[in-house]
Amino acid sequence: MLSLLFAFCMIWFIGKFLIFGVKASWGIMKLLCTVVFFPVILIGLVVGGLLYIAFPLLIVVGIIALAASRS
């Protein structure tokens, strides 16, 4: 009976850490995408001559960021 209780508590403990790890990695990935990947993609589009795609994309993301910061 004690082994069953120990197994249940271990599964609960590991599950809590798994959920914490997923939340932490999601936050790090959001930061990495906004600070590193998005500007690199925009610069690549401009250098590649796709300014007509990069400029509207920059405007849309800017409006979304502005709306998200106000709420």
pLDDT tens readout for residues 3-54:
899 999 899 999 999 999 998 898 888 888 888 888 888 888 888 888 888 8
Residue 47 burial (C-beta neighbours within 10 Å; 0-12, 13-18, 19+) = exposed
Q: Does residue 1 carry a pLDDT above 70?
A: yes
Q: How far apart are CA 50 and CA 46, in angstroms?
A: 5
Q: Does residue 71 carry a pLDDT above 70?
A: no
Cβ atoms within 10 Å, residue 4: 8
pTM given for the model: 0.54
Listed in sequence order, the residues at least 6 apart from 61 whose beta carbon sits closer than 8 Å to its beta carbon are: 38
